[in-house]
Amino acid sequence: MTDTLRIAVIGAGYWGPNLARNFRASPDWHLAAICDLDTERARRVAGSGTDVSVTASLDTLLADDELDAVAIATPAATHHDIALAALAAGKHVLVEKPLADTGAHGMSMVQTAAQASLVLMTDHTYCYTPAVLKMRELIHGGELGDILFIDSVRINLGLVQPDVDVFWDLAPHDLSIIDFILPGGLTPVTVSALGADPLNAGKSCIGYLTLPLANGAIAHVHVNWLSPTKIRQMIVGGSRRTLVWDDLNPQQRLSVYDRGVDLGLQVLDGADRRTATVSYRLGDTWSPALPETEALAAMVTEFAAAIREGRTARTDGGAGLRVLGILEAASRSLDSGGGATAPRHDREPVLVGEASNA
């Protein structure tokens, strides 16, 4: 498949215009249509003097046999039904985060796409930023050594969402990044969530996630709607090096520290007694050069490549499921006051053409 792919964006609200702009600018795609119940808003996204059609009818849109794919940018509660209708019509599907509103709906979407040998991709936009791609490269290449800890902070003032708590609003970004950079994905042993609602908003406005990992490492995510300062930072500590990602520092988004703690074992007097000795490394710090590219542009390119090459996308439905499973486990932990387990959805590359046999 070498011809330009035809796509429609479903949803002309907050995120739909960003998707439409990048599909329109991509040489891989022809933006064919915008679908939204508010056709005036859809026309504004389509733009004047273009051949982009506008419709309020999903059925009419999906009846177009020349349409290759759809991008869904609607509320999470609608993702499942729209995606299943698109897959039934033979369309490849891109879904904005989160993949769905429940794990059961997400699993249904993943299974339906596999049975139809169609690409289902989750729009985890941060995973296509140059900094996060470099983080993945360094970690997968062994530059950090064994991962010991991950600390992630995403805090700002507002907006308090009407339909979800701070975990479901902000944490998908951090969870999707951690899932993307860790070999094998993010599969915590348990999920412990602690939330606070000092505004009496009826939902957690401040939240902390603790995610112990199978190798003894631990990941921690802090999200907050009430902070007057905005922070977007992640620290990944390894046995060899530590990296720091600061998304709000365009001059130095990524720093790698050759600093850390070494733990050795020393035998005393030839006896079997051993005592741990701790030493500290204070080495250099360096910042990798990063290209200036738009994450959404890279994401729509990856979507086209996955379709043409008959493979799963880098942020496929499985990635969306893993994030969704952790969010649901966090909700259970909040309700019970204890830890909860998230279902395992291991990262396994599957050729789309072979998906029906998987």
Give the pLDDT of residue 43: 95
Residue 356 — very low, low, confident or very high, per pLDDT cuts 50/70/90? very low
Give dist(CA 175, CA 180) in Å, integer: 8
Residue 276 — very low, low, confident or very high, per pLDDT cuts 50/70/90? low
**Dihedral over Cα of 56, 59, 62, 66: its sign:** negative
Of 267 and 111, the one with more pLDDT: 111
Quick check: 350 pLDDT over 60? no
Number of residues assigned to the chain: 358
- The encoded tokens of residue 5 equal 């792919």
Q: What percent of the chain has pLDDT over 90?
A: 82
Give dist(CA 355, CA 307) in Å, integer: 13
Say if residue 237 is exposed, middle or buried (CB neighbours under 10 Å; 0-12, 13-18, 19+).
buried
Give the pLDDT of residue 352: 42
Residue 346 — very low, low, confident or very high, per pLDDT cuts 50/70/90? low
Q: Which spans in 254-356 are helix H? A: 295-309, 317-336
Say if residue 292 is exposed, middle or buried (CB neighbours under 10 Å; 0-12, 13-18, 19+).
exposed
Residue type, 267: V
Give the pTM. Answer: 0.87
Give the pLDDT of residue 358: 29
The domains found in the chain, sorted by start residue, are 5-125+295-316+346-357 (3.40.50.720), 127-286 (3.30.360.10)
Name the residue among 16, 22, 13, 54 with its Cα closest to residue 35: 54
Strand partners, 30: 6
Strand partners, 153: 222, 233
Give the pLDDT of residue 274: 55
Lowest mean pLDDT among 159-168, 231-240, 280-289, 312-321: 280-289
Give the model confidence (pLDDT) of 299-330 as tens digits. 999 999 999 999 999 999 999 999 999 999 99
Give the model confidence (pLDDT) of 49-74 as tens digits. 889 999 999 999 999 999 999 999 99
